Amino acid sequence: MPPELASLVDESGRVVCARCEVAKSLRARTKGLLGRKGLAPGEGLLIARTSSIHTFFMAFPIDAVFLDRSLRVRKVVRDIAPYRLAGRIGLAGSVLELASGEAARVGINTGSRLSWHDTSR
């Protein structure tokens, strides 16, 4: 698993999430983005070991990037409004939650492979 805060890059080295927080614990995974007012460009939350998310009680729309265990993008759901569900059929991987429009802005596409870049160095 990556550190608590890292960057995600695609196979060409382009940064797709400069400040990616990783929700590893059950508590962090359950809370997700609840209580936040939004995400800035370049910020994201990776929720580990899940294949679905909800936006109940959230105050802003998000993009969700569904990843398999090797961090290959399997599905991108753009502009999920509050009080909605989104998921991917298959084995649990992880979901990268980004500000609405961010997946298109950074060019995340189905089939892309992401990797971690440690920002603590």
Instruction: Please name the residues in contact with 77: beta carbons below 8 A apart, sequence gap of 6 or more.
Output: 63, 64, 66, 86
pLDDT digits (tens, 9 = 90+) for 37-57: 999 999 999 998 899 999 999
Residue type at position 18: A
pLDDT digits (tens, 9 = 90+) for 48-105: 889 999 999 999 999 999 999 999 999 999 999 999 999 988 877 999 999 999 999 9
CA distance 33 to 24: 13
- In the chain, the domains with their CATH numbers are 5-117 (2.60.120.1140)
Q: pTM above the 0.85 mark? A: yes
Cβ neighbours around 91 below 10 Å, total: 9
